[in-house]
Amino acid sequence: MRVLVTGGAGFIGSHVVEALAARGHEPVVFDVREDAESDVRDPEAVARALSGMDAVCHQAAMVGLGSGFTDAAEYVSRNDLGTAVLLTAMADAGVRHLVLAGSMVVYGEGRYLCARHGVVRPGPRAVTDLAAGRFEPRCPVCAEELSPGLVGEDAPADPRNVYATTKLAQEHLAAAWARATGGSAVSLRYHNVYGPRMPRDTPYAGVASFFRSALARGEAPRVYEDGRQRRDFVHVRDVAAANAAALEADSAPGALTAYNTGSGEPHTVGEMARALAAAYGGPEPVVTGEYRLGDVRHITADSSRLRTGLGWKPEVGFAEGMREFARARLRGE
């Protein structure tokens, strides 16, 4: 299968290219990093790149929480306009198979259980609570403590920042394209991806990159809030394997299917920082109590649909992955 991999020179995209090639496919990289004309927002460039392709693996995106709302237009341009241009060109070229790099950020907060009211969805955390160090969401009905759990693909979307909003819009665009063309679309909702070639600390990098970059400078990783916020850290090679499995699957025509793509093993951010620091050889993390508006408290995945539907399972365990990542080269180093 000839597969156009947008963003194929990036962190996740480069691993997807390797995974596809190892399984006998012919990946073709389309990435502005390698060619200034390979901008997914350029209809002519995209149309040329789609010639002879059987499928598209769409990894190109502006990622991360960014810098508040000041870069909203750039997020929308790169993520949503770019996706619309790509899908239009796919419709014209007769390419009917899409795998989209989705994100768990579309859910907002994760799944919570109240002892009195069952499953509830707390709203965004108040600045006054965050400033006072009250980080845990409370039941929106009785204000009692909640127990976090695993979020499934059928949970309602509730994006809490600009990036999250653009990722949800990408899914809606892909679903509309699938209905209009009879194509098949899969969105792999990545959880916290880490591993070799991760970009260095920028406003758009993930927390694992921030911690790893600090250690490389001889500085202690700075852990926000109290370090007890839960995430699902999934290795980039496992994510690449999920992309290959999705491309090879017989997906339903005329619709978009979403799959959570996580390790299935929740860990706190503090745990991750300590494991990474220990593997690197110090220094120990510092819990700062600082916070970022737009961050959610707990978001961890139920990835059973991906396991049963596509026969995928993660291969890299948390401890093994952190040991490797502690010595891995970051992009930009």
H or E segment to which residue 314 belongs? none
Catalytic member of 75, 107, 112, 163: 163
Q: Which two tokens stand for residue 314?
A: 């993660």
Residue 18 CB coordination number (10 Å): 15
* DSSP 8-state symbol, 204: T
The Cα–Cα gap between 13 and 239 comes to 10
Is 107 labeled as catalytic in the residue annotation?
no
The distance of Cα 46 from the centroid of its chain, to the nearest Å, equals: 23
Whole-Å CA distances, 257 to 73, 175, 182: 28, 9, 13
DSSP 216-242: HTT---EE-TTS--EEEEEEHHHHHHH
Backbone angles phi, psi at 32, to 5 degrees: -65, -20
Enzyme catalytic residues: 163
